[in-house]
Structure 1
Amino acid sequence: MAIFSLPERKAWVLRTQHADYVIGVDASGALQHLYWGEPLSISDDIPSTAGQHAWIWEPEEGNSREECMPWGRRNFAEPGLKVDFADQTRDVVLTFDEADIEGNTLRIVLKDVLKSLQVTVCYRVIDIFDVIERSVDVKNTGMGPVNIEQVMSAIWHLPVYPSYRLTYLTGHWGAETQLRRELLHEGKKVIEARRGITGHNNNPFFAVDFGEATEETGLVYFGGLAFSGHWKIVAERTPYQTLQIAAGIHDFDFRWRLEAGESFVSPVCVGGFTNQGFGDASRKLHGYQQQHVLRGSGQLRPILYNSWEATSFDVNETNQKELAAKAARLGVERFVVDDGWFGQRDHDKAGLGDWVVNKIKFPQGLGPLIDEVTSLGMDFGIWVEPEMVNPDSDLYRQHPDWVYHFPDRPRTEGRNQLVLNLAREDVQAFVYNAVDELLSTYAISFIKWDMNRYFSEPGWPGAPVGRDREIWVRHVNALYDIWRRLQEKHPHVQFESCAGGGGRVDMGIMRYADQFWTSDNTDALDRLRIQWGYSHAYTAKSMVCWVTETVNYMNGRQIPLKFRFHSAMMGTLGIGMNLNHLTEAEMEEAAGYIAQYKTIRPIVQEGLCYRLSPPEQSDLTSVQYVAKDGQEAVVFVFRHAQHFGHPALPVRPRGLAPSARYRNVATGEVRSGQGWMSRGILLRLTGDYDSAMIRLVQDESNTYESK
């Protein structure tokens, strides 16, 4: 059983394959965290709910470890819930009311001791991946309104330990998901987004260890928030050697009004545990996402070609057909037309919001191009940015009130555009209908949904009383609802989440997205670091990686085609370069890499990821993928620059069956899995930007006998 209660202790054990998570009700009725870690043998192993040592100036019950710690009494840590009642009371004291277990879900109902407020804390156990989903439902059971000022999806309490280290992902546009690790000292470490979307600067992922874990060893607590808007994660270390991680919607500029009988349900926060290091933590998250979160998880992602870098806004039927013919020659499976196909969209200063086909560029609509693409054996995709509008557009001229703004204040533009107010029902209807009409009119199989600016002047003139600061959540919920309805009506259409690169990557939009545009930076060397960080939090199947020009616009460095392809083959492969620039020899070489990728695609997209050598520690980066049945492994190795004539260091695979025989497909050499892992693979990688892809396949002959 994944969840069982201990009535005599008034406690509950949430048991996964390799961990126990234990909570209980203390003498005051508060729901307390008791334990999280390796499985306990007997109920007597479970700690008591009695308070710990009380320090002068601290509460008598010691350092509170409440599961849903409200702002009230003498709770001084980051609150899980802060509300303002109609009579201006801002104190909340939650006590246990009832509990319900249904399958792998536990719901515990808490009620305020004096006010008509009910909080249901929900736990869902995904035992095979040692993961727990948490959320809270706050309900106003009284007559007057209640304002929620802060609500956290989860507060995770870690074991008492003298040292804590936080792993997180940071960066900026063009440098998303950069891995950071730092020791936590007394106080708060906050990673956050308060710009309306998930953001390029931080990502809602965390991992905590005790300063000792490696890729393969050590206790690691990990998780992430499933929300695509205004969020924060607070790691708060006290002077008493305790640490809590609070994760949820950001309280900055946020307020949610609950009228009598109304409820507010928080986003889901995921938490997990492993005793086998950061690599195992990532593989658990990847497996959880593939089986329980990622849309279309049972389907392999097609190889796509996107025409943006070839034609930019100068897209038209003729040049797209020419590119489609060349893409088909390479073995591409999906052809995507990017920005510039609609309205008066000849540059980024006009046309957003006018989602009608430009008849100068496509005199007969998109039909002839789509027919040509499908006749070449590819399906057809298209770029949209429906949450945005250019002031120079018919839509804005008709509905200038549809954007976020404050009356009598300037409307600051970003990329010459403004953000449509999805909190408004008429705007929601417009966005849904515009995309629905496009999908209903044409045989489109793929939508690249972009979002190229943060929010500013987040006003909602005409909002219902007390609801103007709900836009941070209402926008995201409306977006989810639009995607859900579109997908129910057009189930064959796959969706890519893009926001100027990796600005909207999280497990919230992942429930509706088939894949993510990882970064606008397609420099193959930079991407090794972006993808390395990304792999800590998200499955490779969701990560779109493009092969682009020989000289990349980001850094101006010249990188060989092989290195560029190998870098992009570590996720969902895409091609973005101008195919008109390729020689016949390069076309043939590119077609060969695409054919190779098709043979390894199931392993990369659905296998187990092992990070072997990080890009920042040496001139060698290596990442491995192992098929879930262990029959085959693929290792990618990249040498950035050779120095002093030194040979490349050996690459030591992981995750192979020790006694099974594996054959190197390129050389024919056969060793046991243990032999490959212990001796490693020595490659001849020389000069700058050299790379290799190694395939190890279980030999049909019998396994080695153990001795």
Structure 2
Amino acid sequence: MAIRVYEEQGIFHLQSKGTSYIMQIVNGYPAHVYWGKQLAFEEQPHSFVDLPEGPLFLLDRLPQEYPQYGTGDFRSPAYQVRLGDGSRITELVYSAYRILKGKPQLEGLPAVYCETENEGETLELELRDAYSGLIVTLSYSVFEDSAAIARSVRIDNQGEQPLQLLRALSASIDMPRSDLDAVYLAGTWNREAHVQRRPLGPGGTTIESRRGASGHLLNPFLALAAPDADEDHGDVFGFSFVYSGNFFISAEVEPFRTTRVGIGINPFDFSWQLAPGEAFQTPEAVLVYSSAGFGEMSRTYHRLYRTRLCRGVHRDRVRPILVNNWEATYFSFTEEKIEDIAKAGAELGIELFVLDDGWFGRREDDHSSLGDWTPNPSKLPGGLTNLAKRVNDLGVQFGLWFEPEMISPDSDLYRSHPDWCLHVEGRRRTEFRWQLILDYSRQDVRDYIYDNLSEIFSTVPISYVKWDMNRNMTEIGSATAGPEQQAEIAHRYMLGLYELLERLTTRFPNILFESCASGGGRFDPGMLYYMPQTWTSDDTDAVERVKIQYGTSFVYPVSAMGAHVSAVPNHQVGRVTSLQMRGDVAMSGNFGYEMDLTRFSDEEKDLAKAQIKRYKEIRSLVQQGDMYRLVSPFAGHEAAWMFVSEDRSEALAYYFKVLAEPNAPQRKLRLKGLDPDKLYKVEESGLVMRGDRLMAIGIGIPAELKDYYSYSVRLKIID
């Protein structure tokens, strides 16, 4: 890791683990030169960008780092400003650079971090527009132990007139090739994170959200891959956005066969007023290069996000095995029923009980009471503290579900403060799930929620909070903002949410927070900064979960994925799968159950006890090891993945078969990530094989004539 500056040539060479990123100042513009495999520093580098000067110099041909609008570059700009005279023309010119030890925090925003100054370095390039007084600072952070580069932008108005930002991306890069495939994660509620791959072509490819959240439909991630790239080979360039609201990632192929990638806050319905002396900080984009395919790209994101994005006491701890009562009872429960489920869980070895929706206000269904965070007296006559103590007395921790960003029109809070929701005065207030969204751009609203939740967290022995968010934004407006600020509200909401989460997680560091948005509707790096795990999907069917968890793993570590065993027929798709397969899929994440454990047969109890015992033995490997994808569920009726400890002394592989095949050939599963020179013993069979054989030849999968079949293999090095 290092940053080398060649001032005479105007060249900046950034090295991160295994990768180099090079820029050069050309006619005052930061130009992109190279991003790929690590290159050695040169003593006297030559000029990399050869373009004619004078009247033949065209910005439209220059590979830029932060392109502007209106001065001869007709591709998509990285930023756009409206000046006081109504013009939109600015021209940023390089003025200075700074190199900082470590990585500065982004004010009010989530971001990856360095724990010590020796873990990274940051380059800041300062650009100025002499006419308007606009100063733009491009930030690039590199890391000692990661092939990642974190980019963000600070925009300062040092002029004498107000400015209006119309577009402010976090990063832009002009790649010198267009023979690339776009790989991204798409879906909808209940089938999130399905892997999509298609070639780029002339014109634009856009991955975005306009919903006020990162959303179920498209994750804030894009990879550009060489056509021959696969899990283990080929160039892959990853772009991940550390933000939880409206995002925009585009890959624009232009006639000269280059590709411009831009990533940042979605310019759609966005603007930001900058008075003289004010500044705007963009969220962070994390760029990862891999020369060894998608697998190494993913493991780079996993390690960085698991250890230098997630924070707090739970970052490095194994996560508890839980049972959640939602699919067991939905809204219909009593204290006695909750205690019965918790007791059944304790007998199986479960460590945490989570009380889901319906415990507060007059909440008998989803029509009312969001915002009224007081116990429902008809369901919990003894109150929350009493119930939590009864659960704790069983040797089980107590957790609680909240949806603190929402408000029901049928609630005491709404009747007292009808202006506290996002709305436009005089316009219809769109209700979805009979609820509206609290206006988190307002400090008074956030303070109320902070005080309300803090009172519960301080008086009830809670060790876990499931923080849900079940609808997207409509009528995005605020009663306290002026006309010129209304297009700022979606982003101000996110800043407010982050501010509230920072306050709560700082005051209550021992509570494990899990993010949820109808499942994976806000599974993004921004939320992981505050909550180290996310409910991956409301779909708990084992077959669908294989696809969802496989796709999610392209960016996010297994430690971030909540995964539960649920009842059959499955409540989302009606499918009947074995408890064995449901357990194996769920044990490939943060393991738990989402069902009525009191209804288990003796045989099911024995299997569940065995699953829980096994997960306690393997969870540090699953949650903190390196993940290798072996077989894609999107390619056929089977899938496989494995986890390998950092020292490669231990490994665990899972194989899943959806549909049986008549007269099927013997299946061998080739493993990955092992030490090729060491002997491994297979726990299940006693077989001993060298790591190179296990990876080149593979291990046999027993032939089973049944659908929905799973098989696991645990290996340890023989000393």
Question: Is 2:705 the partner of 1:686?
Answer: yes
Q: Structure 1 residue 530: deviation in Å? A: 0.6
**Correspondence list, 1:334-483, <5 A:** 334-483=352-501
C-alpha separation in 1, matches of 2:376 and 2:480: 34
The answer on whether the counterparts of 2:540 and 2:570 sit within 8 Å (CA) in structure 1 is: yes
* Aligned position for 2:131: 114
* Aligned position for 2:85: 87
* Aligned position for 2:112: none
Question: Is 2:535 the partner of 1:512?
Answer: no
Look up the equivalent residue of 1:132 and give its one-letter code: I
* Aligned position for 2:629: 611
* Aligned position for 2:109: none
Range with greater deviation from structure 2 (295-304 or 494-503): 295-304
Q: Deviations over 1:86-106 (max 9, x none)?
A: 121211100111111012111
For residue 286 of structure 2, the aligned residue among 270, 290, 294 is: 270
* Aligned position for 1:184: 200
* Aligned position for 1:129: 146
The answer on whether the counterparts of 1:316 and 1:341 sit within 8 Å (CA) in structure 2 is: no
Q: Structure 1 residue 75: deviation in Å? A: 1.8
Q: Deviations over 1:541-580 (max 9, x none)?
A: 1000010012102221110100000011111112101112
C-alpha separation in 2, matches of 1:648 and 1:524: 24
C-alpha separation in 2, matches of 1:112 and 1:466: 24
Q: Structure 1 residue 12: deviation in Å? A: 1.2
User: Where do 5+ consecutive residues of structure 1 fail to align?
Assistant: 701-707
C-alpha separation in 2, matches of 1:648 and 1:471: 59
Instruction: Report the 3-state secondary structure (helix = DSSP H, G, I; strand = E; otherwise coil) of the residue aligned with 2:662.
Output: coil
* Aligned position for 1:8: 8
Instruction: Report the 3-state secondary structure (helix = DSSP H, G, I; strand = E; otherwise coil) of the residue aligned with 1:413.
Output: coil
* Aligned position for 1:26: 26
Question: Is 2:262 the partner of 1:243?
Answer: no
Q: Deviations over 1:168-223 (max 9, x none)?
A: 01100001001001100011111100010110000011111121111101111112
Question: Is 2:62 the partner of 1:64?
Answer: yes
Look up the equivalent residue of 2:396 and give its one-letter code: M
Look up the equivalent residue of 1:8 and give its one-letter code: E
**Correspondence list, 1:96-175, <5 A:** 96-103=94-101, 104-158=121-175, 160-161=176-177, 163-175=179-191
The answer on whether the counterparts of 2:128 and 2:136 sit within 8 Å (CA) in structure 1 is: yes
Distance 1:215 1:46, change over 3 A: farther
* Aligned position for 1:703: none
User: Where do 5+ consecutive residues of structure 2 fail to align?
Assistant: 102-120
The answer on whether the counterparts of 2:539 and 2:545 sit within 8 Å (CA) in structure 1 is: yes
Identical columns (%): 37
C-alpha separation in 1, matches of 2:69 and 2:449: 39
Distance 1:70 1:643, change over 3 A: same
Range with greater deviation from structure 2 (111-120 or 678-687): 678-687
Question: Is 2:574 the partner of 1:556?
Answer: yes
Q: Structure 1 residue 45: deviation in Å? A: 9.0
Q: Structure 1 residue 648: deviation in Å? A: 5.0
* Aligned position for 2:235: 219
Instruction: State the number of aligned residues.
Output: 696
Instruction: Report the 3-state secondary structure (helix = DSSP H, G, I; strand = E; otherwise coil) of the residue aligned with 1:305.
Output: strand
C-alpha separation in 1, matches of 2:145 and 2:437: 41
* Aligned position for 1:626: 644
C-alpha separation in 2, matches of 1:669 and 1:462: 69
The answer on whether the counterparts of 2:519 and 2:535 sit within 8 Å (CA) in structure 1 is: yes
TM-score by length of 2: 0.95
Distance 1:457 1:47, change over 3 A: farther
Distance 1:79 1:162, change over 3 A: closer
C-alpha separation in 2, matches of 1:648 and 1:557: 27
Q: Structure 1 residue 42: deviation in Å? A: 4.4
C-alpha separation in 1, matches of 2:539 and 2:491: 29
* Aligned position for 2:104: none
Question: Is 2:270 the partner of 1:281?
Answer: no
Q: Structure 1 residue 647: deviation in Å? A: 4.1
C-alpha separation in 1, matches of 2:451 and 2:73: 48
Look up the equivalent residue of 1:98 and give its one-letter code: A
Range with greater deviation from structure 2 (680-689 or 608-617): 680-689
* Aligned position for 2:248: 232
TM-score by length of 1: 0.96
For residue 332 of structure 1, the aligned residue among 350, 353, 356 is: 350
The answer on whether the counterparts of 2:638 and 2:657 sit within 8 Å (CA) in structure 1 is: yes
- Cα RMSD (Å) of the superposition? 1.6
Q: Deviations over 1:495-550 (max 9, x none)?
A: 11100110011111111012001100011000111111001010011000010012
The answer on whether the counterparts of 2:178 and 2:200 sit within 8 Å (CA) in structure 1 is: no
Distance 1:292 1:47, change over 3 A: farther
The answer on whether the counterparts of 1:647 and 1:686 sit within 8 Å (CA) in structure 2 is: no
Look up the equivalent residue of 2:125 and give its one-letter code: I
Instruction: Report the 3-state secondary structure (helix = DSSP H, G, I; strand = E; otherwise coil) of the residue aligned with 2:452.
Output: helix
C-alpha separation in 2, matches of 1:45 and 1:178: 47
